């Protein structure tokens, strides 16, 4: 892809991660502003801690490898923000630090850094954090709530609509609040209309290829329509699944990461379908209510296989 080629601006060579991850970070800014408006400055502190932790992780790895840090490699900052916005605002700061360290020190750097990791680092970091701190990761404060800046909060926490769906209940959220994001959830995962707008901008700016998120979202919506989890109208099932379960966020920032996606258009479409099916399967039958990050981890190797399979078949057709 063009993003993997180094570009030169004013005779300064930028790291190949700069352009796509710059676009990711820019589109995350509205989510951060909305979350800060709803929850207060604790959101800013969480992201500041995540950014500082990512810098320390990069410095540590650079020192161990005897290499210099390229300032234009902003992928670590982006992964740190991505995993932080997937957490509740009520988690202790130690959970944020753990999530970022898991993302970078276990998910990104051991494989050689940007572009060499076999799985999405932020999805891996969230999955490990969810397994390790499930009591904090899947409980949320009510909205709106001006939370304190203490290291760990002592406040009432509640299930999200996704958790209620997972347990077989029906979320008590009307359609207006659902569409506007006025329900409990992750720091940056409930503002779905803004996330969809951000996804559109990412696609138009070619930071994200259109096939994967389109087929991913369509697959999740079709599953919710034909296999609803709640005894209500199928339209309500689609709304609850698509707005409450982190699917728009995954479509924008996880599923179509530029270095992990298949290269062939047909493989990208199939990959989006596979990721969508896995997301709904894990959300419905898995241990945890949010299936998208786990689905991305499982779907990525399938994307590699689809690319190789289609390349092999094309060669066979060409050679008769």
> What CA–CA distances, in Å, run from 257 to 119, 175, 205, 254, 271?
10, 31, 14, 6, 12
Q: Is the pLDDT of residue 120 over 60?
A: yes
Q: Is the pLDDT of residue 168 over 60?
A: yes
| Residue ranges covered by each domain of the chain | 2-312
CA atoms within 13 A on the CB side of 165: 30
| Per-residue pLDDT, 169 | 84
- CATH 1.10.3430 is held by the domain 2-312: yes
DSSP label of 12: E
Q: What is the pLDDT of residues 238-261, one digit of tens each?
A: 999 999 989 999 999 999 998 888
> What single string gives the DSSP state of each residue in 270-306?
HHHHHHHHHHHHHHHHSSSS--HHHHHHHHHHHHHHH
Residues 194-202: what's their mean pLDDT? 95
DSSP label of 109: G
Q: What is the pLDDT of residues 280-313, one digit of tens each?
A: 999 999 999 999 999 999 999 998 888 888 877 6
CA atoms within 13 A on the CB side of 220: 33
| Per-residue pLDDT, 8 | 41
Contacts of 137 (CB under 8 A, 6+ apart): 87, 88, 91, 95, 129, 130
Q: Round to whole Å and give the CA distance between 80 and 102.
A: 10
pLDDT over 90 percentage in the chain: 63
Q: What is the pLDDT of residues 34-80, one digit of tens each?
A: 999 999 999 999 999 999 999 999 999 999 988 888 888 899 999 99
Q: Are strands 12-13 and 8-9 parallel, antiparallel or unpaired?
A: antiparallel
């Amino acid at each position: 892809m063009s993003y993997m080629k180094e570009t030169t601006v004013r005779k300064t060579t930028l790291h190949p991660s700069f352009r796509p991850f710059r676009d990711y970070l820019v589109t995350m800014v509205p989510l951060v502003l909305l979350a800060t408006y709803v929850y207060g400055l604790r959101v800013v502190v969480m992201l500041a801690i995540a950014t500082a932790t990512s810098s320390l992780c990069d410095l540590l790895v650079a020192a161990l490898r005897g290499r210099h840090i390229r300032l234009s490699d902003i992928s670590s900052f982006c992964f740190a923000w991505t995993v932080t916005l997937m957490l509740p605002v009520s988690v202790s700061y130690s959970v944020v630090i753990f999530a970022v360290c898991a993302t970078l020190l276990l998910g990104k750097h051991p494989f050689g850094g940007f572009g060499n990791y076999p799985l999405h680092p932020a999805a891996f970091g969230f999955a490990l954090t969810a397994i390790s701190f499930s009591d904090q990761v899947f409980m949320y404060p009510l909205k709106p709530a001006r939370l304190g800046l203490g290291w760990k909060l002592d406040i009432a926490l509640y299930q999200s609509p996704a958790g209620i769906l997972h347990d077989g209940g029906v979320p008590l959220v009307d359609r207006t609040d659902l569409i506007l994001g006025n329900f409990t959830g992750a720091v940056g995962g409930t503002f779905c209309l803004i996330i969809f707008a951000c996804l559109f901008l990412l696609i138009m700016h070619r930071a994200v290829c259109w096939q994967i998120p389109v087929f991913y979202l369509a697959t999740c919506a079709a599953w919710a329509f034909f296999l609803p989890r709640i005894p209500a109208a199928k339209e309500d099932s689609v709304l609850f699944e698509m707005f409450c379960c982190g699917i728009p966020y995954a479509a924008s920032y996880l599923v179509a990461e530029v270095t992990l996606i298949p290269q062939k258009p047909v493989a990208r479409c199939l990959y989006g379908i596979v990721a969508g099916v896995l997301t709904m399967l894990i959300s419905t039958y898995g241990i945890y209510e949010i299936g998208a990050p786990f689905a991305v981890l499982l779907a990525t190797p399938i994307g590699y296989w689809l690319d190789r399979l289609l390349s092999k078949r094309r060669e066979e057709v060409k050679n008769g």
